[in-house]
Structure 1
Amino acid sequence: MDVKPVPAFYCCYLLRSTVRHSSLYVGSSPNPARRLAQHNGRVQGGAVRTSRASLRPWEMACIVAGFPSNIAALQFEWAWQNAHLTRHINPTERISFATTRTKTSAQTRKTTRRPGRPRTSLIDKLSNLHLLLRVPYFSKWPLEVRFFSEDVYRSWATWCGRVDSYIRPSIKVYFDPAQTVPQEQDFTSAQPVPRRRKADLIGKGGVEGVDPTYARFHGVFEKSQFLLDEGDNQRCSVCDESIDIHKHLFIICHTDDCQDICHVTCLADTSLKRAESALVVPETARCPSCGHDHKWVELMQQVTLRTRGIKEVQNLLGKRGKSTAAAAAEILETESENDDEQENGEGVLTLQDAVDDEPGLSGEEQEDNLSVASVASTDSLISLTPNVLGDADNSTQPGKLEIVIEDSEDDR
C-alpha cells in the first residue's frame, strides 16, 4: 500500500453557470483553477454534466478547503450534494428533503416510483453548507470557506443573519476576490495562463490565486537540511530528550528565523493542555521558542512530507532562489495530468457508498464505521510511529469493492 503525505491542498467547490444562475454543480479537486478550466472545456477533462455549451462558462462561486485528504473532501462533497440523505444532519434540522419521481409506462400502464433529489437553488446550497459546517462531525475539521463571487457572498451573509446558530469561530469564512484581472481572459479566470502569469496571480485572490502546491514548505525543508546535518545531537525543546531523526517523528518550526525542533507527541500534548480542549488533536500549536502559532494540519503536512513524500521534497529543494509564488507556478506547470481521473469523485468509490450498502447495522453504527474508515483512510492527523506504519503491510487485506464511475452531482 502506497501511503502518501497529507495533500498540499484539497477542496470542495460550488460551480454556477454564468449563463443560467440556477444551474449549480458541487465537486471536489486538489487544483480548483485547473478544474474550472476543465469544466469550461479549455483543458481536457471535466464532467459530463457541465459539458453543455449552453451553460458555459461556469464560475467557481466558493470553495471549502482544509481537508486532510481526498477521501475527507469526498465525504463532505457527498454530504453537500445529498443533504436530504446524509446522516450527518439531524432529521429535525434537515432543510432539504427527498422527493419521489413517478413514471407511467405507455404500454403496460404500470406506474413506478423512484426516489429523487430535491431541486435546489443557490440559497439551498448555501444553507446546507452552513448546516454542514455546524454539525459535530465536520465542525471539528480545520476548514475554511472562500467566496469568489460577490453576490454569492452577499447571499451567504444574508442567510447567516437569518439563522440563530453560528459556525465555530475557528472555521474562517471570507470574501477572496481576484485583485488583478487576468489578461486576455474572461472573468471566470478559467483560461490556462503561462507560468510567469501564474506566479503573478498566486496569492492575489480569486481561483487563480489559490496555491495548491507544497511550495509554502520550501523554506522549512531548506532550513531542515542544515538542522538535520548535526545528526542525533538534536534535542526536543519540550521534553529535552534527544531526537533520533531516523526513528522519531518530529516537527521543525515554520518560522523562518526559528530553529526549534520537538517531538510530535510532546508538542501535541502541550498544545491540548494550553487550549484545555477535549479534541484528540490540537487545532493550532505554539512554538516553545518563538511563540508563534501554527496550524496543526500544516505541521502534519511537514511531518508526512518528510516521512512519505521523498519525491515532493526533492522537487521543492530543486527550486532554490525562487519565491514561493514562482516555485508554485513552476510546480503547477510541470505537474502530471494523471490526477484528473481522481478528481471530483469520478472513478472513486466514496466511503458513504461503501457504508450504505453494509447490511445489519443501525444508522449510528454505520456513522461510526464511516468515521473510523475516514481516520484509517485519510492518514489521520495523529501521526503513527514508523513501526506501526510498517506493520500495516502484514495485515489481512479486505476484498475489493466494485467501483461505479459516475458524475458526482446532477446539473440543476
Structure 2
Amino acid sequence: MSDDIVITGMGVVTPVGGDVETFWASNLAGRSGVVREERMDTTGLPCGWTAGLIPPDVREQVAADHGAPGRSWGDTLMHATVEQALADARLDELPAADGPAALVYARVWPGPTGSFPQDYVTHMEDLAERYDTVGNDPAAVLRHLRGKRLPLETRDLSAYPREIAERLGTAVLPVRLEATCSGGLRAIAEAARLLRTGRARYAVVSAAVSRNTPYVLSQYGQLMALSRWKGDPAQASMPFDRRRTGMVINESAGALVLETAEHAARRGVTRSHAVVGGWGLAVDTAHMTAPRVEMIERVMRTAIEEAGARPEDVDTVNAHGTSTRLNDVTEARALHRVFGERTADLPVSAVKSLTGHGSAASGVVETVASALTMCRGVVPPVPTCTEPDPACAVRTSLTPVERPVRAVLKNSFGFGGQYASMFFRRPAAPRPAHRPG
C-alpha cells in the first residue's frame, strides 16, 4: 500500500468565496475580492487604500455558525475552514480511537484586540521589566515568571487546540508555527513530517489572518510594501505586471486534512485532491525583507528533488506573486534559473491577484487552488496582469488555461528571510468536481 501523503479535505474562507467551490469559480471567472478600504481612516497613509475583504454575507454566516464568546475572529475563521475540510474528508465517519491526530496551525498575534499597538507595547514593557529585575539568567527568569500573572496582551488565550481536540474526539498533537508568509506551506510540511514519522494518524492544517488596522497598514507602508494604486480597486494587486506598486493585504483562512494514502484507503477514501511530493524550506539572514534569487532557487530545486522529480516534470507554478516590485522580479528570475528556456511556456498562476495577500493563510489557500488545478485540469488566470513586465518574462494568462496538469510547484516566501516551496502531484484517482444537489 502506498505511503504517499495525500490531501483528502479542504476548506477556505476568502475575499472571493466562503467555500472551496465558490473560491474556485471566482478564480476561473477572474472575480476580485479586493475593494476600497472603508473600515478605517486611511487619508493620512501613503498606501493601503484597498484590501481583500471577506464579503459581508460570508462574514455574517461564519460569525453565526462558528463564533463563540471570547473566540477571536482569527480562530473563528479557522473553525469555519476546518469544518469544511473535515466534512470534505469524511472524517466524521472516523472512530475516535483512530488517533492521535496532529493539529498544525498558523495565525497572527492572538491578543484580545489583534495587531494593535497596545498589544506590542504591553509585551515590550513586560519584557523590559523582567530584564531589569533578573537579567537573562534562565533560572532567574523561571523563578520570576513562576506565579506571576501575565498581562492579557502577552498571553495566548486561544482555546483553539483544545476545541479542535474536542471536535475530533481524540488526542491532538498541537503545533503552532510562526513563519510569516511562508507559514502555510511550512505547516503542511510539518504535518507531513508528523505523518511520515508515525506521530499522528492524520493531520489538520489551518491558518488564518485578519490584521487590517491602521497600525499594520502603517508598518507595511513604512516598508514601501503596500500598493499605492489609486484606480479601480480590483486592479490594485497585479503580480508580474509592469505597473505593480505593492501588495494588498487581506483577511482569509484555509484548512486541509492530510493523511497517508494507506490510512485514507483503510477508511474507504480512495480519491484525494493532491499528493504532497516534496518540499524545500530555508531561512536566510541576509536581509529582513528583501528576497534573494539564490534562496528561492534553492527551495524550488529542493522541493523538486525531494519529490524524486525533475524541473521538466512541473506543469505549472502557483507563484507567491505578491505584486511588489522586488518580490515578483526576484521570483521570476529564480524561475528562469530553475526552468531555463521552458519558463517561456510554463503557465504561472497568482491567486493574490484576486484575493490579496493573506500572510500564512495564503500558503494553505493557494494549495487548495493548486490541488484543484490538477484535479480539474485548469490553470487559473492572472486577470490583473494586463501589461506583463518584461523584467519578469513569465507566462501568465488573462483567461483560464485548460490542460492536463500532473504536477504543480507552489511557492511562498516571507519577511524575516523565510522561504518555502512545495511539489504537489496529481493523484492516480483525483477527487471529482463537486456536483450541487
TM-score scaled by length of structure 1: 0.27
- The structure showing larger relative contact order (alpha-carbon pairs under 8 Å, at least 6 residues apart) is 2
Structure with a larger share of its residues in strand: 2
TM-score scaled by length of structure 2: 0.26
